[in-house]
């Protein structure tokens, strides 16, 4: 496989995952705004922080009312991480490798791209319907990929991009909740606080699974534990890191003689660090610091993957069929 093909597959899925997460964040925040008591803090600016684009948002000097934040996150062409731009970049990467992906995958991402162009019918719908249509379009792309793409290197690099982006966004939205949504200690434990924790779970698509798994009152430590450390919820950080580790092992199916390189070390350390830790220890030592360290590790992991697989002439040293790499 050419490194540019692996790079495109990786980024198609990162961009689609990013768009799907942002659409869910905004959709949940719109619903939450209706439940917030009059005069309570607006849930909008923290979404910009969760997307990691606060500096750009401030630099563009757009307003700070809900409409401005929604436009910035959803359709602003000057924001490279807006939903419209993410889908456009995913479509461009897919266009470059149309001979690798399936026809059904191309038709879905291409159709989603054209449906988001200026003047299309989707922009005449209520905002909740717009966001729901975008989210379902991204999820349909996942389903088509899962149903039509062979489990070879194409599938593995697609999974890798999706899982890294998912771990990043889950940790970001949790970090925002702890350190931005509750500016005053008096709000902790109140009605608004519970609404925000429910909104956080819904933002991660985790509310129902949390209720089924925990079967207890919503508490900050329980929510943090579920989103960070649950081993079977597919959007938890730990579950994503397990998937990343398994995928990297399958990609590099032939053991390399000698000590592990930086990528292997970081892969193993990340999985071990988040598999054998308790939430009380994370909160006690500083949850923000732990998540900040995770963000740095994910960025470093992306950099090492890029250096290993996306800057070479080709990937012919990797077997075409990695199915037997893991038992």
In the chain, pLDDT over 90 holds for what percent of residues? Answer: 63
* pTM for this prediction: 0.89
Secondary structure percentages of the chain, helix, strand, coil, to 5: 70, 0, 30
What mean pLDDT, rounded, does the chain reach? Answer: 87
Q: Are the CB atoms for 67 and 202 separated by under 8 Å? A: no
- Average pLDDT for 319-326: 37
pLDDT band of residue 323 (cuts 50, 70, 90) is very low
Q: Are the CB atoms for 14 and 169 separated by under 8 Å? A: no
Greater pLDDT, 144 or 2: 144
Mark out the alpha helices in 185-286 (DSSP H runs).
191-203, 207-214, 220-229, 237-251, 262-275, 279-285
Q: What is the pLDDT of residues 222-235, one digit of tens each?
A: 999 999 999 999 99
> Angle at the Cα of 148 (from 147 to 152), degrees rounded to 5?
105
Say what the pLDDT of residue 248 is: 96
CA–centroid distance for 165 within its chain? 4
Say what the pLDDT of residue 190 is: 58
Say what the pLDDT of residue 59 is: 87
Q: What is the pLDDT of residues 252-303, one digit of tens each?
A: 876 666 778 899 999 999 999 999 999 999 989 999 899 999 999 999 999 9
Say what the pLDDT of residue 179 is: 65
Q: What is the pLDDT of residues 62-82, one digit of tens each?
A: 677 788 889 999 999 999 999
Say what the pLDDT of residue 327 is: 27
> Token digits for 256?
């390399």
Residue 215, classified by CB atoms within 10 Å of its CB into exposed (0-12), middle (13-18) or buried (19+), is: exposed
């Amino acid at each position: 496989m050419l490194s540019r093909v692996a790079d495109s597959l990786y980024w198609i899925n990162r961009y689609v995952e990013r768009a799907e997460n942002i659409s869910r964040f905004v959709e949940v925040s719109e619903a939450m705004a209706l439940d917030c008591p009059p005069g309570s803090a607006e849930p909008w600016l923290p979404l910009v922080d969760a997307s990691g684009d606060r500096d750009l948002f401030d630099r563009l000097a757009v307003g700070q009312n809900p409409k401005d934040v929604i436009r910035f996150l959803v359709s602003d062409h000057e924001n490279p991480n807006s939903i419209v731009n993410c889908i456009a970049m995913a479509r461009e990467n897919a266009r470059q490798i149309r001979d690798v992906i399936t026809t059904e995958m191309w038709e879905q991402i291409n159709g989603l791209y054209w449906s988001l162009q200026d003047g299309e019918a989707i922009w005449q719908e209520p905002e909740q319907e717009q966001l729901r249509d975008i989210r379902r379009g991204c999820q349909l792309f996942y389903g088509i990929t899962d149903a039509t793409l062979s489990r070879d290197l194409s599938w593995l690099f697609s999974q890798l991009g999706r899982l890294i982006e998912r771990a990043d966004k889950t940790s970001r939205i949790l970090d925002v909740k702890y350190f931005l949504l509750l500016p005053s200690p008096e709000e902790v434990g109140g009605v608004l606080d519970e609404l925000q924790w429910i909104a956080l779970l819904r933002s991660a698509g985790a509310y129902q699974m949390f209720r089924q798994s925990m079967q207890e009152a919503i508490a900050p430590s329980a929510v943090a534990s579920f989103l960070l450390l649950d081993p079977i919820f597919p959007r938890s950080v730990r579950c994503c890191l397990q998937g990343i580790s398994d995928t990297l092992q399958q990609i590099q199916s032939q053991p390399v003689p000698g000590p592990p390189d930086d990528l292997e070390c970081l892969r193993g350390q990340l999985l071990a660090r988040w598999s054998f830790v308790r939430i009380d220890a994370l909160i006690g030592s500083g949850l923000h610091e732990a998540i900040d360290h995770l963000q740095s590790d994910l960025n470093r992991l992306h950099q090492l993957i890029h250096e290993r697989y996306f800057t070479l002439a080709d990937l012919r040293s990797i077997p075409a069929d990695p199915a037997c790499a893991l038992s």
